[in-house]
Amino acid sequence: MNASTFTMPPPNPLDKLKGRVLCVDDEPNILRALSWLLRKDFQVVTAESGSEALDLIRNGDFDVVISDNRMPGMSGVEFLAQVKTLAPRAMRILLTGYSDMQAVIQSVNHSEVFRFVSKPWDVVELPMLVAQAAEIARRQEIVLPRAETPHPEVAGIRLPKILVLDEDEATHSVVEMSAGDLAQIIHVTSPVDAFKMLEDEEVGIILSERTLGTMDLTHLLCLLKRKHPQIVSMVVTESEDSNLICRMINQGQIHRFIPKPLKAGNLRLALKSAIAKRSELLDNPLLGERHQVGTLSPRETDDLQKSLRTESAQDPDPAFQTLQPETSLFGRFFRRLFGA
């Protein structure tokens, strides 16, 4: 009997690719540009409208979905909100060439995008970002939409803790009115008081103004999310600086942006969403990878450290002073925050 000849099959070029990416834009030249940039490392599929892309998603599996926002018929925010339901494992990235404040906020509040990328994109950074998103998606099991969290009293569970950080008394009042029956509300008016509560309490949700006095809390919220990925951060702000909010999305993975003046009904819905997200992260810590934060530059880190030291030096509580950094409350918190 002659031994049969075994021929090795030709290598499948798809085996070397890092993931399957769907790019959606109504401009063909943009789709061609994305395809040329990404096709070396990814299997790229394109669609010229949200409806066409939804058909592809219903019939296929994608690791990353990249969508422009300004499209006729269906905006990118509306499209990605549906992607979140139809393909919850896929990581979502929003592209836009416009400084559209409302779209930026909606992209966080409804679509929960992984990153917000402005046109024209950086040809080095975008493939790296897509690779990071694809790697996260491939490590995830299919994440089914979570049913609405039952009322704590009905469910018989311990109330989650929401830390409210704002100098505006109206904010504290609206939070109590909106969610006092859903969570244990902890009220603070300064970063120093916030540190004390974070040291003593198992805080699950932070609702914070972006600035307190002269201190910008943007970078602090980013670092807190990096060190405590199961904390859900929400920001209330009067600012309409879309570039700043984009940076907070990318660096801090803020769960919701809530414009001032606060409305009780909208705030209650947002806080219920945050409580549900916190429960998801506790049930499945791997989901935290989907909310990885960006890194702060050395200058941003240095500015934050200086601001925190200034705040702590002004606090009258001797337990918080930095005179004995090894034993002080601030010293312990500072080391955990910065890894020092």
230 occurs within a structural domain: yes
84 occurs within a structural domain: yes
Mean pLDDT value of segment 150-164: 66
Contact residues for 255 (Cβ-Cβ < 8 A; gap 6+): 108, 112, 232, 233, 234, 273, 274, 277
CATH number at 245 reads 3.40.50.2300
301 occurs within a structural domain: no
Residue 329 belongs to domain spanning = 306-338
Predicted confidence (pLDDT) at residue 104 exceeds the cutoff of 70: no
Q: How far is CA 32 from CA 26, 36, 132, in A?
A: 11, 6, 22
11 occurs within a structural domain: no
Q: Quote the number of domains for the chain.
A: 3
Are 280 and 162 members of one domain?
Answer: yes
Q: Which pLDDT belongs to residue 152?
A: 47
Mean pLDDT value of segment 265-270: 86
Tens digits of per-residue pLDDT, 16-63?
678 999 999 999 999 999 999 999 999 999 999 999 999 999 999 999
Are 112 and 161 members of one domain?
Answer: no
Are 170 and 49 members of one domain?
Answer: no
43 occurs within a structural domain: yes
Q: Which pLDDT belongs to residue 99?
A: 58
Are 112 and 186 members of one domain?
Answer: no
Are 172 and 278 members of one domain?
Answer: yes
Are 265 and 204 members of one domain?
Answer: yes
120 occurs within a structural domain: yes
Confidence of residue 210 (pLDDT cuts 50, 70, 90): confident
Are 82 and 50 members of one domain?
Answer: yes
Are 218 and 164 members of one domain?
Answer: yes
Are 168 and 271 members of one domain?
Answer: yes
> How much is the mean pLDDT over the chain?
77
